Amino acid sequence: MGDNQNLKCLLCEESCQEGLVILGCLICYDCEEKIVRTRVSENDYILYMSKIKKIWEVAITN
């Protein structure tokens, strides 16, 4: 992913060097796995979706 050692995951806010980049926002591989495995009926689903919405907020304001 290049020079991303100063980036933080959008979801867990931990520093990471690799992950999924969507519109300039980073999601670490651990959080990506959690998103993929979370069922719509689980409480974490709403949390993840609200944080993912931030990607669009960032994209719109830039």
Residue with the bigger pLDDT between 32 and 56: it is: 32
φ and ψ of 60, to 5 deg: -70, -35
- Does the CA dihedral 8-59-33-3 come out positive or negative? negative
| Residue-wise pLDDT tens digits, 21-54 | 998 889 999 999 999 999 999 999 999 999 889 8
Find out whether 58 and 25 touch, Cβ atoms under 8 Å: yes
Element (H, E) at 44: helix 43-61
pTM, 2 dp: 0.76
Q: Decide if pLDDT at 56 tops 60.
A: yes
Strand-pair partners of 27:
20
Who has greater pLDDT, 4 or 59? 59
Q: What pLDDT sits at residue 5?
A: 58
